[in-house]
Amino acid sequence: MRAFPTSLVLSLALPFGFTTSLTSTFAADWPSFRGADRQDISRESGLLKEWPENGPKQVWLNQDVGLGYSGYAIVGDSLYTLGARDAVEYVIAVDVATGKEKWSAEAGALLTNNWGNGPRSTPTVDGDHVYAMGGKGTLVCLTKSDGKEVWRVTMESLGGQLPGWGFCESPLVEGNLVIVTPGGPQGTLAAFDKLTGTPAWRSATWTDPAQYSSIVPVDHHGTRQLIQLTMQSVAGVNAANGELLWKNEFPGKTAVIPTPIFSEGQVFVTAGYGVGCKSFKIGADNSIEELYQTLEMGNHHGGVVLVNGHLYGFAEKNGWTCMDFKTGEVKWVEKRTLGKGAIHAADGMLYLLEEKTGTVVLITATPEGWQEHGRFTLQPQTTQRNPKGMIWTHPVVSGGRLYLRDQELLFSFDVSGK
């Protein structure tokens, strides 16, 4: 196996919206970061509700997907991710049945920083194309079947400034557009024709610099909106033209990572470093009604999911936490049995990944308390990770498989219950 440079990435965080316009996907597909609707909830059923003593059966292990913390998009018979090999970042396609690489294509030069090097985002698959953001902010459009480049653009050319941990967001495909967050004086968001890369619009009246969150598409009172979070604010823009519809202050510290959650007009945002969380209601006229602000669900990164009216995630103050979405009331906390990490939801269950040890735990998504149904520790683990890095790539269930990643090591486990 070739020796790769060490890599790190803050796997971005949170989600929620309604159906995006991603096309040509199946029920089991996972075409983008946190899924097609960015809720991070798999719509599959019939999955295992109890794990064997040593965890679900491992189907395959690919030991060569490059370094980094990129997540994965899974469509049809292929999984797409990003990884650093030597001094280059690549988009890599893997066969989901065998784990063998299908193709790789250059995404851009290697991002380096004190926490490690390499790509930090998840590709997005739409129709015949894959869209991916390199760590230094190069957006590439590739042919899904063979990785042939169609077009590319850099965030620097759009006036964007490289954030401290690199560009981490996952591109959003919305209708005929692909939308990203270069940030800067020309506009926080930028949209392009997804087939040609021709610029379509900028959010010219909203000019916050980019952070690490990913855009959430929502339908609100007949208007398609795009919600994004920065270090200064959370805002909604018109998906058709980038017009700023509303903005609410949410000052962050150091890094703002989790993606916003939206449901029935209510927005929830959270960040780490003592910032906590905030929720507010968006009126039919895009007015803002504050609902609550608290430290009870301050999520650094690793994500929060909304399942049946309750939020679940790891909070800096409490550990693993269940909180009522509408009111902010804490239902339960658990900090003794599992440390900080990432979360994913599928078939009424929560898949938790502890970042420090690689311990994976299955619990019921219920406000009645922590109900565990199995655990195992990811093995083997990389020897190439930066000493400051941990296992930060989010779990994903697609096609009856649980996918996990530790740098160059990509795992597939059978959780289908068959």
The pLDDT value recorded for residue 138 is 98
Looking up tokens 């609707």 gives 37
The CA distance from 331 to 308, in Å, is: 13
The pLDDT value recorded for residue 409 is 98
**Kindly report the CA angle at 263 between 225 and 284, in degrees rounded to 5?**
55
The CA distance from 126 to 299, in Å, is: 30
The CA distance from 352 to 361, in Å, is: 5
Q: Are strands 57-62 and 73-75 parallel, antiparallel or unpaired?
A: unpaired
Contact 68, 382 (CB under 8 A): no
3-state class (DSSP) for residue 288: strand
The CA distance from 240 to 216, in Å, is: 14
SS (HEC) of 56-122: CEEEEEECCCCECCCCCEEECCEEEEEEEECCEEEEEEEECCCCCEEEEEEEEECCCCCCCECCCCC
Looking up tokens 């049945």 gives 97
The pLDDT value recorded for residue 188 is 98
Q: Is the pTM of this model over 0.85?
A: yes
The CA distance from 353 to 300, in Å, is: 14
Q: What is the overall mean pLDDT for the chain?
A: 93
Query: Residues in the chain with pLDDT < 50?
Result: 1-26
Backbone angles phi, psi at 222, to 5 degrees: 85, 0
The pLDDT value recorded for residue 5 is 32
Burial call 242-260: b when 16+ CB within 10 Å, e when fewer: bebbbbeebebeebbbbbb
Q: Which two tokens stand for residue 114?
A: 């004190």
How do residues 52-110 score in pLDDT, each as one tens digit?
Answer: 999 999 999 999 999 999 999 999 999 999 999 999 999 999 999 999 999 999 999 99
Backbone angles phi, psi at 157, to 5 degrees: -65, -15
The pLDDT value recorded for residue 27 is 52
Q: Which two tokens stand for residue 130?
A: 């894959």
**Beta bridge pairs of residue 403:** 396, 412
Residue among 312, 323, 360 nearest 339 (CA): 360
Give the count of beta carbons closer than 10 Å to the beta carbon of residue 128. 13
Contact 416, 47 (CB under 8 A): yes
3-state class (DSSP) for residue 323: strand
The pLDDT value recorded for residue 28 is 78
3-state class (DSSP) for residue 62: strand
Amino acid identity for residue 243 in this structure: E
Q: Mention every residue, 6+ apart, whose C-beta is less than 8 A from residue 93.
A: 78, 79, 80, 101, 102, 103, 104, 130, 144, 147
How do residues 167-181 score in pLDDT, each as one tens digit?
Answer: 999 999 999 999 999
3-state class (DSSP) for residue 345: strand
Residue among 282, 162, 285, 161 nearest 216 (CA): 282
Q: Is 159 left (phi over 0), alpha (psi -120 to 50) or beta?
A: left
Amino acid identity for residue 177 in this structure: L
> What is the helix (H) or strand (E) element at residue 310, kind and residue range?
strand 310-315
Which domains does the chain carry?
41-414 (2.130.10.10)
3-state class (DSSP) for residue 157: helix
